[in-house]
């Protein structure tokens, strides 16, 4: 069970890191947003304190219609919450009153960009590190070529002057 929890955590962390990749952050027409509504959710309990199986199908693993309805509400609500303020659990109340609606102030699904968590590129100054990638690539190429040349020269020098051995010397 501990290994499964670790794998789940690694998967969630990887997906979260993916959502911050530059190719997704720089676009205005596409976004990747993690919806963490299920991150800290516990199995719902019935009035006797045991697992409420009405949320699960007959295999006790997949959700029932009721469970899917709860997850749909939680997912919808998560999409309407700003990034950094998203609900990470579901309380399984089976109440449609907890369904959130877009508002005039926020009539869209929240992303990193419209949650004001990213610096606007028009306000930002020039990218200071725009030179870093070409310089690092060029420097790596020069270093690599220099290393190979030095290694070949050293190896060639060793072949021309083999080490002296007592077996090869004649007296």
The tens digit of pLDDT for each residue in 50-106 reads 999 999 999 988 999 999 999 999 999 999 999 989 999 887 876 778 889 998 988
Whether this model's pTM surpasses 0.85 = no
Within a domain: residue 126?
no
- Domain shared by 4 and 63, yes or no: yes
Q: What is the pLDDT of residue 29?
A: 87
- Domain shared by 147 and 99, yes or no: no
Within a domain: residue 63?
yes
> Would the pLDDT of 131 be above 90?
no
Within a domain: residue 25?
yes
Within a domain: residue 96?
yes
Within a domain: residue 164?
no
- Domain shared by 62 and 113, yes or no: yes
- Domain shared by 76 and 147, yes or no: no
Within a domain: residue 163?
no
Within a domain: residue 59?
yes
Within a domain: residue 64?
yes
Q: What is the pLDDT of residue 128?
A: 46
- Domain shared by 24 and 108, yes or no: yes
Residues 6+ apart with CB under 8 A from 96: 73
Count how many domains the chain has.
2
- Domain shared by 69 and 142, yes or no: no
How much is the average pLDDT of 105-110? 88
Give the Cα-Cα-Cα angle 16, 110, 94 (nearest 5 degrees).
Answer: 90
CA dist 18 and 32 (Å) reads 8
pLDDT band at residue 130 under the 50/70/90 scheme:
low
* Structural domain range at position 142: 131-156
């Amino acid at each position: 069970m501990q290994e499964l929890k670790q794998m789940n955590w690694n998967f969630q962390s990887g997906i979260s890191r993916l959502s911050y990749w530059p190719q997704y952050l720089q676009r205005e027409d596409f976004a990747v947003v993690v919806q963490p509504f299920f991150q800290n959710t516990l199995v719902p309990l019935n009035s006797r304190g045991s697992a409420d199986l009405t949320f699960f199908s007959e295999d006790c693993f997949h959700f029932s219609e009721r469970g899917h309805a709860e997850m749909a509400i939680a997912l919808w609500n998560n999409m309407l919450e700003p990034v950094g303020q998203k609900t990470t659990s579901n309380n399984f109340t089976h109440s449609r009153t907890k369904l959130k609606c877009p508002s005039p102030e926020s009539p869209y699904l929240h992303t990193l960009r419209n949650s004001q968590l990213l610096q606007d590129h028009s306000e930002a100054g020039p990218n200071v590190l725009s030179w870093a990638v070409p310089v690092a690539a060029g420097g790596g190429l020069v270093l690599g070529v220099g290393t190979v040349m030095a290694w070949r020269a050293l190896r060639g020098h060793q072949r021309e002057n083999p080490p002296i051995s007592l077996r090869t010397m004649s007296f």
